[in-house]
Chains A and B, each alone.
Chain A
């Protein structure tokens, strides 16, 4: 099935638009439906599609395991770090108001950063789970 040119070409055509759609969902979350959770899953789906058509090894070349594991932790760090940054600015934990002069600008900025953290973690966890399941070798 993997050698079928239809799958290869269709997955090549779809790969970019899926990621762009994921980014749209990620950064448009405060205007329309969506946000970090959904966007992370959508972007992970693009990479999973690639792995399914071209094989797990090719997928691992595209997105190596060490990057996946680092991005997993990076997302939580971005979210938690935003809270620490609020404290350093003199506000409560995860209070976005000191990030800009106007309160709504500060909120927009805070929400975008926090959602980015969620998106990064969800993306890496989903892709990592798929790689772990697909590459699992049962022990004797």
Chain B
């Protein structure tokens, strides 16, 4: 029972934070509030006994994302552009989609229902088999690294590719970009570069 009220409190906190994010114009405040949003979401996950998810949300969502937003904020204006017109159709569309999501939420199985479809497929096998066979207390890690090793490999490659793409885009380590930078920084290097290209 007390878990329910904790959840009600945390979800209403999420709603309040979302409301303030919409109202605020200062970008740094919005970044701070989105960090707070992630931390509250992490608290909800802890309350639902999904500690691993909560850990990830707290570390990635409220930690690193906030810092990356702050670092990106250096190239943005202090305040959000002021919107003067109010798009009625967008509000209408958002209202309809929200209503549909609420209706769909009633069809979801109750939280913790043992007969929910998600708990009947492969989950019983993981829970019953993994400890006697592998002696690993944390089933999440076991599923992640040994039952679903391919998925995790894919995730790692996705993280690697995404990071590589952003780093290449922002630091611009292509030959033409390097040439442009050296051309603006000093003529000496440009001459050297010209010599090298002529020789080649």
Question: Which residues of A does B touch, CB under 8 Å?
Answer: 25, 29-35, 37-38, 41-42, 44-45, 48, 52, 69, 72-73, 75-76, 79-80, 83, 94, 96, 103-104, 107-108, 110-111, 114-115, 117-118, 121-122, 124-126, 128-130, 132-136, 138-139
B126 contacts the other chain (CB 8 A): no
Q: How far is the CB of B162 from chain A (nearest CB, A)?
A: 7
Report yes or no: B163 in contact with A72, Cβ–Cβ below 8 A: yes
B68 contacts the other chain (CB 8 A): yes
Residue of B nearest to A49 (CB): B67
Q: How far is the CB of B154 from chain A (nearest CB, A)?
A: 10
- What B residues does A72 contact at CB under 8 A? 160, 163-164
Report yes or no: B160 in contact with A76, Cβ–Cβ below 8 A: yes
Report yes or no: B163 in contact with A117, Cβ–Cβ below 8 A: no
- What A residues does B163 contact at CB under 8 A? 72, 121, 124-126, 128-129
- Taking a contact as CB atoms closer than 8 A, the residue among A76, A83, A115, A138 that contacts B141 in the complex is A115
Q: Interface 1/0s, chain B 33-59, versus A by CB < 8 A?
A: 000000000000000000110111001
Residue of B nearest to A39 (CB): B59
How many positions in chain B have a CB within 8 Å of any CB in the partner chain? 44
- Taking a contact as CB atoms closer than 8 A, the residue among B60, B134, B153, B162 that contacts A79 in the complex is B153
With most chain A CB atoms within 10 A of its CB, the pick from B136, B156, B172 is B156
Residue of A nearest to B148 (CB): A94
- Complex formed: what's the CA distance from A75 to B164 in Å? 13
Report yes or no: A30 in contact with B150, Cβ–Cβ below 8 A: no
Report yes or no: A37 in contact with B145, Cβ–Cβ below 8 A: no
- What B residues does A73 contact at CB under 8 A? 160
Given contacts A25-B55, A33-B140, A34-B52, 7 further A-B contacts (CB under 8 A): A33-B138, A38-B60, A107-B134, A121-B163, A128-B167, A129-B166, A134-B74
- What A residues does B157 contact at CB under 8 A? 76
Report yes or no: A35 in contact with B144, Cβ–Cβ below 8 A: yes
Q: How far is the CB of B38 from chain A (nearest CB, A)?
A: 13
Report yes or no: A111 in contact with B156, Cβ–Cβ below 8 A: no
- Contact status of A38 and B150, CB under 8 A, knowing A30-B136, A31-B137: no
- Contact status of A134 and B71, CB under 8 A, knowing A45-B64, A114-B149, A129-B163: yes
Report yes or no: B170 in contact with A136, Cβ–Cβ below 8 A: yes
B72 contacts the other chain (CB 8 A): yes
- Complex formed: what's the CA distance from A32 to B51 in Å? 9
B106 contacts the other chain (CB 8 A): no
- Contact status of A29 and B72, CB under 8 A, knowing A45-B63, A79-B156, A114-B152: no
Report yes or no: B68 in contact with A35, Cβ–Cβ below 8 A: no
- Complex formed: what's the CA distance from A52 to B155 in Å? 28
B159 contacts the other chain (CB 8 A): yes
Report yes or no: B64 in contact with A44, Cβ–Cβ below 8 A: yes
Residue of B nearest to A83 (CB): B153
B182 contacts the other chain (CB 8 A): no
- Complex formed: what's the CA distance from A133 to B56 in Å? 22
- Taking a contact as CB atoms closer than 8 A, the residue among B141, B152, B160, B170 that contacts A132 in the complex is B170
Report yes or no: B67 in contact with A48, Cβ–Cβ below 8 A: yes
- Taking a contact as CB atoms closer than 8 A, the residue among A37, A75, A128 that contacts B60 in the complex is A37
- Contact status of A136 and B56, CB under 8 A, knowing A35-B144, A41-B63: no
